[in-house]
Amino acid sequence: MSRQPSISGIDRSPIGSTTSSRRHFLGITVAVGSATLAGCTSAIDLLAGLVLDDVNLFNATDRTLSGEITITDPNGTAVLTESFEVDPEGEDDEDADGDSGATFGDVFNTDGVYRIALELDEDSALDGTTATAQEVSITDTEDEHIVVVLGTEETDTPVNSFVIEEFSEMQDQLNTD
C-alpha cells in the first residue's frame, strides 16, 4: 500500500522523511539505548524529543502493517485522517524504503478527550483485530504526545494507545496495561 496524500491538511512527517532520515532516527535510537544503559533518562527524553510529535505510531511486530488512523478532537471533529504503512521495528536494512513508525504533527487544538480510531488492512490484522477505537485525555497540548503501539508483546491487547510527556514514560505505560 502506498502512502496517500494528506486529506486533513495536517503536517505529517513519517520517520525517515527528509526532515528526519532513517539514519538520523537510528542514530538517536543508538544514543537512547546507550543512555538507557547509563541510566540517564533526561538524555533519553532530550534525544527522543527530536523524534516525537503530537501522534506517534509504532510497529512492534515482525511484519509490515498498513491501514488508516483517525483522531477526533473533544468537539467531535476529525483532526487527523491518514493512511499509513509501517515496517517491522527490527528492520535495519539501510536500503529499506519503509519506516517502523510514523509521526503526525499539528493535531491537538484543545485540551480534552481525543478518540483514536485505527483501521488495519485485512492482511495487517493483529490477533484477528482489524479495527479498534480508544480514547485518551490530553491536558497539555504543548507537552503531551499520543503513542499508538501496534502488536507489542508486553500487553494482552494488539493495539495500545496512551499519552506521555517524556519518551522514558513509554515503557512504564506498556507495563501497566
Is residue 133 assigned to a domain?
yes
**What's 102's domain CATH number?**
2.60.40
Does residue 17 fall inside a structural domain?
no
Query: Domain for residue 79, yes or no?
Result: yes
Considering only CA atoms, which of 114, 104, 120, 122 is closest in space to residue 158?
Answer: 120
Does 47 score more than 60 pLDDT?
no
pLDDT greater than 70 at residue 35: no
- Residue 70 belongs to domain spanning: 54-176
Please report whether residue 44 resides in a domain.
no
pLDDT in tens, 145-173: 999 999 987 778 899 999 988 766 666 66
Longest CA pairwise span in the chain (Å): 44
Q: What is the pLDDT of residue 111?
A: 98
Task: Establish if 114 belongs to a structural domain.
Answer: yes
| 154 within some domain | yes
pLDDT band at 34 (very low <50, low <70, confident <90, very high): low
Question: What is the structure's pLDDT at 97?
Answer: 54
> How many domains are there within the chain?
1
pLDDT of 17 > 80? The answer is no
Q: Which residue has the cell 481525543?
A: 114
The model's pLDDT over 90-111, given as tens digits with 9 standing for 90+, comes to: 655 554 556 788 999 999 999 9
Q: Are the C-beta atoms of residues 117 and 38 closer than 8 Å to each other?
A: no
